[in-house]
Chain A
Amino acid sequence: MGQLKEVSCLNGHTDRVWNVSWNPTGTTLATCGGDKTVRLWGQEGDSWVCKTILQDNHQRTVRSTAWSPCGNLLATVSFDATVGIWDRRSGEFECNATLEGHENEVKSVAWAPSGKLLATCGRDKTVWIWEISEEDEFECASVLHAHTQDVKKVLWHPNLPILMSCSYDDTIKIHKEDGDDWTSFQTLESHTSTVWSIDFDSTGERMVSCSDDMTVKIWQAYQPGNKEGIQTTGKDATWKNLCTLSGYHSRTIYDVSWCKLTGLIATAGGDDKLCVFEEEVDSTGPTFVLSTAITRAHNEDVNSVEWNPKVTGLLASSSDSGDVKIWQYSV
């Protein structure tokens, strides 16, 4: 059993906080929400303080943000149908590009590990792939219409040039470049309601998903020629549901984060709860057990959770109540 201890409670947002996102070095936390602003928090001594507020760019809720792999660019997506690209190479964050194309609310954004591709998705049921040229120009490379409903989140694979997306249509889909265009080549079906979020483990061989059906699912990639005899097509792995964690949350699970340093999985729920799961390996194979849970992590729904990429056990979460919390996990 482990435990989560509250390190800091960050107040400043004046509305629901939809998302938290650590920069690659783990020194800055970006948060965003219904007050149309993005706040950047950093550590000063023992406390976390708001260092910068990015505002006046989006006309509606800022739903989520994502840092480029180099940490110099921050992408922000909004219900106003636009994507903002902020650059800090001049010293201060400046919004130097606005990507338009989605018909309505943009829900999620993700940078490919190379930093050369960006993916966005939204309520218009599409996933957009943007190519970034040497001159920092963003060009739409593809618009994918694979989902039949609102797309909630996009996420690039850590090592392979494939993109995952999850949706209100209850599925997760996998997309790859195919000649000049992008195609969707696999659909993962198992959840019985909206899939809100997904994350990979450190190897990229497994993925975790969370849903309105109140379950968390672990997925395994079976490579061509796998010893289990799972059928594959071409060079692509086949993803299959390995196990399902249920009974831990009593309402929608809005977010999940798989720590690359420790292998711990954190989940955030509409029941105000945070859970941390750890893997145990016994003779029957891997199982995931609850390591610790905070029943009233926030006063309202917990919308987002993310492990710090560099500091072991440091976790950030955000809530409808407008606050952001930083937690330290220890055994």
Chain B
Amino acid sequence: MAAADVQNFNPTVFSKSSSRAVTESELDEAATDPIDDREVFDHLRCIKDPEHPLTLEELNVLDRDHVRVGDDGIDVEFTPTIPHCSMATLIGLSIRVKLIRVLPARLKVRVAVTPGTHVSEGAINKQLADKERVTAALENNHLLEVVNQCLAAHD
């Protein structure tokens, strides 16, 4: 993306969290380990920002406390770096696509803007919650390519 299009020139960069310690029970093939907050967070934290060579974790767009696994599904809230960020829907879509790909389909997912952090949070949340529009968006090859770039493994 051309530098002139970058909206937030100088974002605050946060430190990455350390790798998760592997517990003994996880090494036990016979044990049942349910999906937990940290596991979902680990799937998401390396997603790249659409305009910076940084991850959503480094930009504090995602943090562990805003990823919750409940009885009724998975709830992810993300915080755009600036309140009028035009990339917010794309970031939310990338999070949704990543979750669709890594989690079992039976799990319900909600992806929404952290309350009070974006001027159009209602409109963004409604769009991200509309699976028909999300499905249609992902049939658009250009958009899918942009999403895939955000999801590509990051060094």
Listed in ascending order, the chain A residues whose CB lies under 8 Å from chain B are 16, 34, 60-61, 63, 79, 104-105, 107, 123, 150, 152, 168, 193-194, 212, 250-252, 270-271, 299-301, 320-321
Contact = CB atoms under 8 A, between A and B. Distances in A.
B136 A105 contact: yes
Contacts of A79: 135-136, 139
Contacts of A107: 132
B43 interface: no
| Main DSSP-derived SS at the A contact region | loop
A212 B131 CA distance: 11
A104 B137 CA distance: 11
A321 B136 CA distance: 17
B126 A193 contact: yes
Nearest to A63: B132
B72 A250 contact: yes
A251 B126 CA distance: 13
Contact of B126 (A60, A152, A194, A299): A194
A123 B136 contact: yes
B105 A61 contact: no
Contacts of B72: 250
| Closest 4 pairs (CB-CB, A-B) | A105-B136, A60-B139, A79-B136, A299-B106
B133 A320 contact: no
Given A79-B135, A168-B126, 4 more contacts: A61-B139, A104-B136, A252-B129, A299-B105
A293 to B, nearest CB: 17
B130 interface: yes
A250 B133 CA distance: 20
Contact of A251 (B105, B108, B132, B135): B108
A248 to B, nearest CB: 15
Contacts of B129: 212, 252
Contacts of A270: 108, 131
A248 B108 CA distance: 17
Nearest to A107: B132
